[in-house]
């Protein structure tokens, strides 16, 4: 299988060691060990992208480049997405090519919907999660904190019919223990 790998946090050739580089590099190595061909998509910095109009304007051209790089791939896999670094590339490339989109280690933080400063990233991240055919995670908490349109299927989350987003009061009532670190 040919897998297009998207890394919105940092490029795999980043010289500073961090989990944002080593985890997707290890993931790519494991996939190769299992006989898959991994195609690295060109890096595009997505950290707080909504705050940078220049980057937002360059995104469509980058999507064309990423689409060309992913042509012939069977799916798009993104290593991680969250409100500060939402995946703005993977879901769009997968949709353009008509292939499945997968997320590895996504994070969903309903409290980020409450702030004007983090709302755009929250929405972009939620859209990436909603676009994913599966979200692979190692946290059982993601199931209860994930968007209401995601449901648990085996060891991954799969998308089901979109349901209306709960009101702020309902969200607060659903997640009282998570707010402000209280139990």
Give the Cα separation of 67 and 60 in Å (integer): 11
In this prediction, residue 153 has a pLDDT band, given cuts at 50, 70 and 90, of very low
pLDDT at residue 158 tops 60:
no
pLDDT at residue 37 tops 70:
yes
Query: For the chain, what is the mean pLDDT?
Result: 80
Note whether 106 and 135 are within 8 A (CB). yes
Q: Is the pTM of this model over 0.95?
A: no
pLDDT at residue 83 tops 60:
yes
Under DSSP, the state recorded for 85 is B
- CB within 8 A of 93, min separation 6: which ones? 4, 6, 41, 63, 66, 67, 70, 76
CATH code 1.10.10 for 2-181: no
């Amino acid at each position: 299988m040919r897998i297009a790998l998207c890394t919105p946090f940092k490029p795999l050739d980043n010289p500073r060691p961090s989990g944002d580089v080593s985890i997707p590099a290890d993931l790519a190595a494991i996939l190769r060990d299992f006989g898959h061909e991994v195609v690295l998509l060109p890096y595009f910095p997505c950290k707080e992208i909504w705050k940078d109009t220049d980057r937002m304007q360059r995104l469509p051209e980058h999507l064309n480049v990423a689409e060309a790089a992913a042509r012939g791939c069977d799916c798009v896999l993104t290593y991680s997405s969250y409100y500060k670094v939402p995946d703005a590339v993977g879901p769009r490339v997968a949709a353009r090519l008509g292939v499945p989109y997968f997320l590895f280690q996504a994070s969903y933080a309903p409290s980020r919907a409450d702030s004007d400063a983090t709302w755009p990233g929250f929405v972009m991240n939620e859209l990436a999660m909603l676009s994913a055919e599966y979200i692979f995670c190692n946290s059982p908490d993601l199931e209860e904190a994930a968007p209401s349109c995601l449901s648990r299927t085996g060891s991954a989350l799969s998308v089901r019919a979109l349901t209306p987003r709960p009101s702020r009061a309902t969200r607060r009532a659903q997640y009282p223990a998570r707010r402000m670190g209280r139990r």
